[in-house]
């Protein structure tokens, strides 16, 4: 629903005149979702109170986040008019008005020239008709006079016909000139209508101002638009020798659909997230009741389809320089940037970060047939936003991954592809179930597995083998296990039931791990 939204109420000037002034976007700060736009408004006004109308704001302007500032002019109340409403006063378009006037004058001159040619043709046709209608009294005039009259009529008819032919030849050229003038005038009128139609999709702000003296004034307007965003992209390059090194090449993909082009603006990317949750969640007392169970209901899951919008990226601009605003990292692009509305994925380089990672070959024989390279490192002083990561190991593309939101000095773990020469197997030579004893009411289950890692590469690898055993939270279900060799870690990071072994595996070497699990539960109960 369209509305006129007053944002601030102050005494309004009486009999104030209205000044319409355009605005120029000078700076934009883009967040992961949304952008703050800074505009400069320059105008000229006599001393006294006036209404300053800024009629070129994008339709996506958020009214509550409008902020105004001026050093020369006193600012009063202001109102915001949403897009789609007819402006109170049409915007001035002096360039287009001048182009339309020139095109109209050219068209009028061409029409006049064509009409003059048409008049010449009409006059020649009338002269020929008159001459052809002349007759002579043969009986009363001497033959010499009749011959002279006949010669005169012939000459005049010939001259009139030649003038007619010349005029008709000029008429074709005049018609072309007139047609071109009509086209130019129609294009100029269409351009003005296009601007007017675009203006109907613009929002406008009317500000009560007071000028202390005659002269120029300037106002700074800051507002927020939601249809803009940036997201990080990363290239992670891992080098294992002669010393482990990891380089994170960072970039930002910027998109904006505000409805206006940003040309030559100072661009800043901020890691702040004003569109996200700004306050901690609230917890409320939880009332629980015990009731009879309800009958189960059938549930049918619906299919979901992934949809992606492809956009051609544009050329990458200069590397942005990081800075801090409190505890928020911002990246300032050193050169002015052009970013048209509707353009997706303008790429800005954010520079490289270097780390010294810890590298291991992680093996999960229960699920995989090969081990994978894992690199673990600690982030620096800058927050890393979530984004897609392209993975390169020793100069070779090995896959893609995703980086989660990582605070400063947070730990990061990235996988860098499979190691085909580290072969994994997990065999189960024993898997029996039965009564624990002849007279016992207990039942039991025993499982045995043999984990095997073989290094077929020509280098030693630090191995991290992971397997799992079931765990129980019931006193009635007892679970015990034995492993040879014994695991070096159990329940890592609180993940119950996980076991880990760490060791170095030389080229050509084989490491086996024997794992046995026993489960016991009372008679009459089922294992689930």
Q: Rounded CA gap, 420 and 434, in Å?
A: 40
Rounded Cα–Cα distance for residues 74 and 211 (Å): 7
Q: Provide mean pLDDT across the span 56-79.
A: 89
Residue 314 has pLDDT above 70, yes or no: no
Tell whether the model's pLDDT for residue 524 goes beyond 50. yes
- Residue 3: pLDDT over 80: no
pLDDT for position 90 = 57
Average pLDDT, the chain: 81
User: In this model, does residue 287 exceed pLDDT 90?
Assistant: no
pLDDT at 193 over 90: no
pLDDT at residue number 429? 74
Q: What is the predicted pLDDT for the residue at 67?
A: 93
Nearest to 426 by CA among 457, 386, 465, 400: 465
Residue 527 has pLDDT above 80, yes or no: no
pLDDT of 444-493, one tens digit each? 888 889 999 999 999 999 999 999 998 888 888 888 899 999 999 998 88
Within 10 angstroms of residue 188's Cβ, the number of other Cβ atoms is: 19
pTM score, whole prediction: 0.65
- pLDDT (average), residues 168-173: 81
The average pLDDT across 151-176 equals 77
Residue 471 CA to residue 520 CA, distance in Å, equals 12
Contact by Cβ (8 Å): 157, 128? yes
Residue 123 has a pLDDT of 74
For residue 310, what pLDDT is reported?
35
Give the model's pLDDT for residue 166. 80
Cis peptide leading into residue 480 (ω within 30°):
no
Task: Give the SS3 label for residue 155.
Answer: helix
The verdict on whether omega for the bond into residue 485 sits within 30 degrees of 0, i.e. cis, is: yes
pLDDT of residue 373: 96
pLDDT band (50, 70, 90) for residue 270: very high
Q: How many CB atoms lie within 10 A of CB 189?
A: 15
Q: Residue 434: is its pLDDT beyond 60?
A: no
Most confident of 159-168, 275-284, 505-514: 505-514
In Å, how far are 108, 116, 157, 333 from 171, measured between CA atoms? 16, 9, 21, 60
Distance CA 212, CA 224 (A): 30
Percent of the chain's residues with pLDDT above 70: 81
Q: Give the span between the Cα atoms of 251 and 289, in whole angstroms.
A: 53
Q: Which of 346, 343, 344, 324 is nearest to 335 (CA)?
A: 346
Specify the pLDDT at position 390. Answer: 95
Q: What is the pLDDT of residues 213-230, one digit of tens each?
A: 999 999 999 999 999 999
**How does pLDDT run across 362-393, given as a tens digit for each residue?**
999 999 999 999 999 999 988 898 999 999 99
Q: State the Cα–Cα distance between residues 272 and 30, nearest whole angstrom.
A: 9
Q: Could you read off the pLDDT of 126-150 as tens digits, one per residue?
A: 777 776 666 544 556 677 766 776 6
Mean pLDDT to the nearest integer, 335-354: 87
For residue 259, is pLDDT > 90?
A: no
> Per-residue pLDDT tens for 230-242?
999 999 999 998 9
Mean pLDDT of 166-183: 83
At 16-36, the pLDDT tens digits run: 688 888 899 999 999 999 999
Taking only the tens place, the pLDDT of each residue in 74-128 is: 999 988 887 655 554 555 677 778 888 888 888 888 888 888 888 777 777 777 7
When mean pLDDT is compared across 68-77, 189-198, 326-335, the lowest value belongs to 189-198
User: Counting Cβ atoms within 10 Å, is residue 449 exposed (0-12), middle (13-18) or buried (19+)?
Assistant: buried
pLDDT digits (tens, 9 = 90+) for 406-429: 999 999 999 999 999 999 999 987
């Amino acid at each position: 629903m369209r509305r006129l939204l007053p944002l601030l109420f102050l005494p309004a000037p009486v009999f104030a005149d209205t000044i319409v002034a355009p605005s120029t976007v000078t700076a934009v700060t883009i967040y992961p979702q949304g952008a703050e736009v800074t505009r400069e408004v320059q105008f000229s006004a006599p001393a006294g109170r006036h209404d300053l109308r800024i009629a070129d704001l994008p339709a996506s302007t958020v009214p509550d986040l409008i902020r105004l500032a001026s050093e020369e002019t006193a600012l009063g109340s202001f109102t915001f008019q949403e897009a789609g409403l007819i402006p109170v006063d049409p915007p001035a378009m002096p360039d287009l008005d001048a182009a339309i006037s020139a095109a109209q004058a050219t068209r009028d001159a061409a029409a006049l020239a064509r009409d003059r040619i048409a008049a010449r043709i009409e006059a020649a046709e009338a002269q020929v008709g008159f001459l052809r209608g002349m007759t002579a009294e043969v009986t009363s005039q001497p033959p010499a006079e009749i011959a002279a009259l006949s010669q005169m009529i012939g000459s005049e008819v010939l001259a009139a016909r030649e003038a007619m032919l010349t005029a008709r030849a000029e008429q074709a050229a005049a018609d072309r000139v007139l047609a071109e003038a009509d086209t130019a005038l129609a294009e100029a009128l269409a351009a003005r209508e296009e601007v007017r139609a675009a203006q109907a999709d613009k929002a406008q702000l009317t500000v009560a101002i007071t000028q202390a003296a005659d002269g120029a004034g300037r106002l700074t307007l800051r507002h927020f638009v939601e249809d803009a965003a940036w997201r990080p992209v990363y290239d992670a390059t891992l080098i294992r020798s002669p010393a482990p090194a990891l380089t994170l090449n960072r970039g930002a993909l910027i998109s904006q659909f505000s409805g206006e082009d940003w040309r030559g603006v100072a661009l800043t990317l901020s890691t702040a997230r004003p569109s996200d949750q700004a306050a901690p969640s609230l917890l409320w007392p939880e009332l629980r009741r015990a009731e009879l169970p309800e009958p189960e209901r059938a549930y049918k899951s619906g299919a979901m389809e992934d949809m992606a919008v492809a956009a051609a990226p544009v050329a990458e601009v200069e590397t942005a320089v990081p800075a801090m605003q409190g505890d928020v990292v911002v990246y300032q692009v050193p050169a002015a940037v052009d970013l048209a509305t509707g353009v997706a994925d303008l790429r800005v380089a954010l520079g490289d970060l270097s780390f010294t990672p810890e590298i291991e070959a992680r093996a999960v024989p229960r699920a995989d047939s090969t081990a994978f390279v894992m690199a673990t490192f600690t982030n620096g002083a800058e927050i890393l936003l979530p984004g897609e990561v392209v993975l390169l190991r020793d100069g070779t593309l090995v896959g893609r991954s995703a980086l989660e939101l990582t605070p400063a000095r947070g730990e990061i773990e990235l996988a860098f592809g499979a190691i085909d020469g580290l072969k994994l197997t997990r065999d189960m030579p024993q898997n029996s179930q039965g009564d624990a004893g002849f007279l016992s009411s207990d039942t039991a289950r025993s499982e045995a597995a043999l984990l095997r890692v073989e290094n077929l590469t020509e280098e030693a690898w630090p191995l991290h083998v992971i397997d799992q055993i079931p765990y129980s939270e019931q006193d009635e279900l007892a679970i015990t296990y034995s492993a040879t060799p014994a695991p070096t870690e159990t329940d890592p990071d609180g993940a119950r039931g996980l076991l880990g072994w760490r060791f170095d595996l030389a080229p050509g070497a084989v490491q086996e791990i024997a794992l046995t699990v026993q489960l016991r539960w009372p008679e009459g109960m089922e294992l689930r």
